Amino acid sequence: MELYPGAPTETRANLLPKLAIKPWIPPKPRPLMFVNAIVVDPASGNLLTGRQTVKVEGGRIISVSPTSDAENFGDDCTVVDLNGLFICPGLIDCHVHVTAVPGVKTMGDLTRLSEQEVHLRTTYTLKEMLLRGFTAVRDTGGASKVIANAIEEGLLLGPRLFQCGKALSQTGGHGDFTPALSGGPEPGCCGGHSKLFARVADGVPAVLSAVRGELKAGADFIKIMVGGGVASETDAIETVQYTAEEIKAITTTCRQMGGKMSTAHAYTVEAIRHAIDNGVLGIEHGNLIDEDTAKLLAAKGIYLTPTLSCYGIMVRPPFEDFLPPDGQKKNAEVMKHGLQALKIAHEAGVTIC
């Protein structure tokens, strides 16, 4: 029966898939042939001899071969003549926070942004990452599977995104950005009730609920705040966070729910060892590591992701006052040891991301 003139006559089974179509998803692209390219070989650090043809299909490089004037690519592909321009692999950043958006003067201002402001500015951050040559990034607190899917579907312009959802923090830990004094004046840093980067969970039942929730929501891995941090107001760098039982509950759940990897924010030897002794498989930062601990990481196959560039940014205009005085002191402390930590880890054979 026709409900109104011009109404669809398809059956319900045929109509529902059409209603569910996402109009922003682009059609499957034709194969791409980049010809006359100068190709950088990152394995050798050299350029391939002569101009090359790079075939891309389904978003993947299928082949690289010398360009020939006699080549006939047919009509089923798109040919792009680079005429001597360079092609190199996309850059990968293994530690980002896409919700640490620009447009604020201080960390306190950042934590007071509304979720809507953060989400809108995140689109700018992602686009700029891609335009700088980063084709994949690993977000260690703040992003979500929703953002990752939007990028994959073409709704947002940005690099491929691997994310942990919200990082897990104890009360008063590196991910707790609530005011230090209940009912008191807002502190200069982290004075808002921001949930941009982390969620607070205390005790084994609460951390089990939190880690299961993040994995259910599509987290690719889990991040745990196991030591003090630069940007957080209430924890000194040397603090060790979460009990062994809490960390074991998180890492066990990661293994049980699809074998997901867990990584820990940790600067000091004590925090690093506390993390890996209880099942964590990666360390973020690690600026105060020593030789014995680096050897332990290498022996256990633990990954280290250093983050040296951000400390230098925080001492130069326009970000020299982004952190409050206490945060600036902590930033100087970890920055001072960063290069030495990198040398120690490299010489010990640690896998560095």
Q: Angle at CA 140, nearest 5°, toward 271 and 153?
A: 165
CATH architecture, domain 32-87: Roll (2.30)
Do the Cβ atoms of 169 and 190 come closer than 8 Å? no
* Domain 91-352 sits in CATH 3.20.20.140: yes
More confidently predicted of 87 and 12: 87
Q: How far apart are CA 338 and CA 343, in angstroms?
A: 9
pLDDT tens column, 139-150:
999 999 999 999
> What confidence score (pLDDT) does residue 14 get?
64
Q: How far apart are CA 74 and CA 212, in angstroms?
A: 51
pLDDT band at 54; cut points 50, 70, 90: very high
pLDDT band at 94; cut points 50, 70, 90: very high
Q: Which amino acid would we find at residue 238?
A: E
- Does the pTM surpass 0.85? The reply is yes
Q: Start-end ranges of CATH 3.20.20.140 in the chain?
A: 91-352
pLDDT band at 199; cut points 50, 70, 90: very high
Q: Start-end ranges of CATH 2.30.40.10 in the chain?
A: 32-87
- Sheet with strand 167-169: strands edge to edge: 198-200, 167-169, 221-225, 261-268, 282-288, 303-305, 351-352
Q: How high does pLDDT run on average in the chain?
A: 90
Q: How far apart are CA 176 and CA 199, in angstroms?
A: 7
More confidently predicted of 68 and 279: 279
pLDDT tens column, 227-268:
999 988 888 999 999 999 999 999 999 999 999 999 999 999
Task: Please count the residues of the chain.
Answer: 353
Nearest alpha-carbon partner for 251 in 299, 302, 177: 302
> Is the pLDDT score of 196 beyond 90?
no
Which residues partner with 79 through β-bridges? 33
Q: What is the DSSP letter of 30?
A: P
